[in-house]
Structure formats: C-alpha cells, structure tokens
Structure 1
Amino acid sequence: MLLDGLVASAVPEVLVPRAGRLRPVVLVHLPLETDAEARALAAAAGVVTTSEWTRRRLLDRYPLPADRVRVAAPAPTPRRRRPARRPARPCSASPRSPRTRGTTCWPPPWRS
C-alpha cells in the first residue's frame, strides 16, 4: 500500500499496528522531521523519496536502513522522436501551374 508522507505522519497510531499486514510504502516529498514521521517511517516496509536530497535527509535524521529508502525522481515521459521529413520538392511560383499539380510544395508559394 502506497501512502503519502503527510497522511502516514498524521496517523502513526493507526499505521504502526497494521504495518505487518499492510506493508505500507511511504512517499516523502519533503521531510517533516517530527516524532510522528519517525514512527511512521520506522513501521513502513519501504520509503520512496522524490529526490536524492530528501533521501539523504531522512537517512541522517532517522535510523532507517538505507536499502529501504529509494529515490523516484519525477520526470516527464520522453516523447518518441518523429522521423525527419523529406525536403519539399521545388515548385513553381504559381499555385495553379500545371507543373505543381499533385506535388508537395511547403510552404505554399502563396503563403510566403
């Protein structure tokens, strides 16, 4: 079960007795550095942070095993690159010219 750190830190008295059954993983954006947060993180099966700085801060502040604290940095999903376009074929200056009918001409000569 994934819990936000603010929720987990607000109710350690509910989380701690059920931690063995639920195996909670707590997501921490910024540490609160409170006793309630310490109890919640100690009971968690794992901790996920959004930065390496937050991970180091939690490990310095609380006696957590380093292998239970992981970083999942937020990042955009990379877009697939489109293949390069073919260069447009040359066309005449007149859009109605018989030479250009059916050819690709970009930008159209009447827009330039």
Structure 2
Amino acid sequence: MDVSVSGGDLVLTLDLPGLTTDDIDIELANDALTVRGARKRPQLEDGTTWAHAERTFGAFERTFRVPRGVDPDSITASMENGVLSLIVPRPDRLQPKKIAIGEQRELEAATA
C-alpha cells in the first residue's frame, strides 16, 4: 500500500493482483477506511497436487485512518490491472480559507 497527497487529497494505492472488484469491499466508519477481501486458492484438477506454492491466499483486511469529517460519497475508487486506487478528498473543514482584510475595528479597553 502506498499513501500520497495530491492537491490536499489522500491517494491510497493497493496492489491486489488476481482480484476483481467483486472480491473487494470498501467501507468508511468512524474515520476509518477499511478495504477487505479474499484471494481464493485455485482448484487443482483431479490427480494434480501442489509441488511448490509461494503466493498467499485467504482473507485480508487493511484499515486506514482518514481525516475526521470525510464525506463517504466523495471518496472515489477505481481498479486497473489489479491495482486499487482510492482518492479521499480533504474535508471542507481542512480546506484553507481566505480571510478578507477589512476595516480596522477599535478595541475596547476593559474597564475595571
């Protein structure tokens, strides 16, 4: 998994070779983005046995903390060639705000 920042948005990239979008679930709950799924071991034909196996199979789950206030509907996910990309936009509350310079106000002295 790689995490980068582009224009203030988080970009999460996960390698999931051999999986399709049907094999993966993505959920946002309590400021935690969870990607889970399962890679199934291929079935061998009758009379065939494994001589050597290094690839991993089974269920997996990965959880990432995201900034508080992320809108779940604003997150985009795409998958190409076994690479899942998630873009998590920065919440409005974390967006920089321009402050206009106006007229100076008189400060009232505190009276005792």
TM-score by length of 2: 0.26
Q: With CA pairs under 8 Å and 6+ residues apart, which has the higher RCO, 1 or 2?
A: 2
Greater Rg by CA: 1
